[in-house]
A and B are shown apart, each in its own frame.
Chain A
Amino acid sequence: MDGLFFLIQTLNGIQYGLLLFLIASGLSIVFGIMGVINLAHGSFYMVGAYLAYSLTQWTGSLPLALILGIPMTIALGFVIERLFIIHLYHRDHLQQVLLTFGLILIFNELQQVIWGGDPLAVPVPELLRGSVPLSDTLSYPVYRLFLSAVCLVLAGVMYFVIGHTRLGMRIRAGAANRQMVEALGINVRLLYSVVFAIGVALASVAGMLAAPVETVYPGMGEQVLIVCFVVVVIGGIGSIRGAFIGAIAIGLADVYGQVFLPDIASVAIYGLMAAILLWRPAGLFGRDA
């Protein structure tokens, strides 16, 4: 009984952590390669969740919503990059923070205009509606297992793309030395657009997948953005591996915090961050100490 309880909590923690990883990795790559701190990253998570809601309403199925939604979010990423982010490459952090802060205000208000302020629910697809019985009283929902599996597959794909393809080589080179990549004649403009769009798509996919598990509500983007900052700070900026470990650690800390210290659960993850900063100010896998 006790063992099963911990199994369920651990599965929940890992599932939340994997979801955070999808969002945080985009945030981390965009900063690592383009040198841009993007506060609006959480808004793309929100956009994903609301798109999942509307497209599921329209098509009647979450998988179809995903297939339709992903190209839309990639397109959104390209547009935002070309219209706004492009002005930020040679500016300081303060201006990046402010411009993307302005974007959040706009996204939040657009969300109010289009979808209104009430929380919305997205149904779990019928195939995945069951649950795995663990004992007489406890069971675990299949959709959450599916969610974790999809995130793991995406993490694997990212690992492969970054480690073993030409695009990944350029991404790594860009993170290591931007000027040199430019000097070698690689189309940095295009690389930046692609990287940003990938980041947007990852955050939106996370939002779409999370929609049936968590309610879709206004302000969900900021909530997740700040947790992702904690993940990135713990893992080290620009490090995918760091983002992965940081995300799982935060996922578990959050879930166990709610079990053991329900009164201050929302403070627990920041305590973890403070402890890690005391030990390593640039995060676990950060380079700049």
Chain B
Amino acid sequence: MTVLPSKRVLVLLALFAAALALVPLSGDKYWIKLVTRMMVLGIFAMSLDFIVGFTGLVSFGHAAFFGFSAYMLHLVSSEEEAVNLIWALPACLAATGVLAAVVGALSVRTRGIYFIMVTLAFAQMVFYFFHDSDIAGGSDGAFIYFPPALMMGEWMALDLGDRNALYLFCLGSLVALYAFLVVLLRSPFGQVIQGIKVNEHRMRALGYNTYRYKWMAFVIAGVVGGYAGFLFGCIDGFVPPELLSWRESGLGLVMVTLGGIGTLFGPVFGAFALLGVEELLRDRHLFGALAEHWQMMLGAFVIAVVLFMSNGIGGQVMRIVRRPGEEEPS
């Protein structure tokens, strides 16, 4: 179980993060927003890899937590002023955690293909709940007029309504959450869930209550996914119900696979790559009239990734930068 990548990969990741920190200097609104979205979906993909790649549970309903948390942000926000980040974020994460605990308690009872279908069905239930009811705008989606701000007494320490502040907050969150998940995976808890992925029977024979460990992993992944959803709600101040849809869950799995399942940092690159490909495919200069039907090309791209790139970007990176004589990562 090598969760912590080699020194060379870590150096590469640090360089990448440093390069990302320079993007706001460009002052280009379009790029800053695009990269913010990439980083937020990177967190989302990373949380999905935690449950799919490390615990071995293929969740096809992860967008439920992503979108639910964004909706929670809408519910705690007011129309007059920015809500304080210091309690808004924990409140949204706690609500998402409760949802993940309930969905997880039921889904983790099942395995394999049932798990895929059940998580999808529960996510769909959450989708219809917001789509069909008028709690939060129904099918039109919900607005967040003022993204949260970090208030220390009267002093506004951080305003997520500011493009650059939000960008840097997302970057900081991405790095911190990556470190958090690496530490968690190297802890005894993390070793157990990875053991479950390899051989659940053996872990149970060793005396571990595998149900409870899988359930906890599911909740952690859900909460981190919710963190990403919270940030996503801040980007446009708009939460469409489609954020909860099965399509979003599917794209999450595409990011994980494209980035390299079970590498944790890979899915972040997967998110960057997928959003980048989407931008390219929609580009009229490159694809002309075909750009209108970019979804079709995206479908072909997804199929190509499955058929020809099962190691993903993360696997490639680890192979290329490994030292001579070092073991080939499996």
> Once the chains are docked, how many angstroms separate the CA of A227 from the CA of B295?
24
Q: B149 within 8 Å of A by Cβ?
A: no
How many chain A residues touch B (CB < 8 A): the figure is 44
CB distance from B111 to the nearest CB of A (A): 8
Given A94-B257, A113-B293, A282-B110: A99 in contact with B306 (beta carbons within 8 A): yes
> Once the chains are docked, how many angstroms separate the CA of A270 from the CA of B257?
29
> Once the chains are docked, how many angstroms separate the CA of A113 from the CA of B246?
22
Q: B6 within 8 Å of A by Cβ?
A: no
CB distance from A12 to the nearest CB of B (A): 20
How many chain B residues touch A (CB < 8 A): the figure is 41
B120, A226: Cβ atoms closer than 8 Å: yes
| Binding site secondary structure of chain A | helix
CB distance from A215 to the nearest CB of B (A): 17
Q: Which B residues are CB-close (under 8 A) to A232?
A: 117
CB distance from B154 to the nearest CB of A (A): 43
Given A101-B250, A270-B124, A273-B118: A109 in contact with B293 (beta carbons within 8 A): yes
Q: Mark B224-262, 1 if CB is under 8 A from A, else 0.
A: 000000000000000000000010001001100100010
For window 57-116 of A, CB contacts with B under 8 Å fall at 84, 87, 91, 93-95, 97-99, 101-106, 108-110, 112-113
Q: Which A residues are CB-close (under 8 A) to B122?
A: 270, 274
| Binding site secondary structure of chain B | helix
> Once the chains are docked, how many angstroms separate the CA of A110 from the CA of B301?
15
> Once the chains are docked, how many angstroms separate the CA of A104 from the CA of B247?
10
Q: Mark A262-278, 1 if CB is under 8 A from B, else 0.
A: 01101100100110011
A39, A98, A283, A288: which contacts B305 (Cβ < 8 A)? A98
B110, B295, B307: which contacts A277 (Cβ < 8 A)? B110
B60, A97: Cβ atoms closer than 8 Å: yes
Given contacts A232-B117, A281-B110, 14 further A-B contacts (CB under 8 A): A94-B58, A94-B257, A95-B306, A99-B306, A101-B250, A102-B306, A103-B299, A105-B298, A109-B299, A229-B120, A237-B114, A264-B129, A267-B125, A288-B111
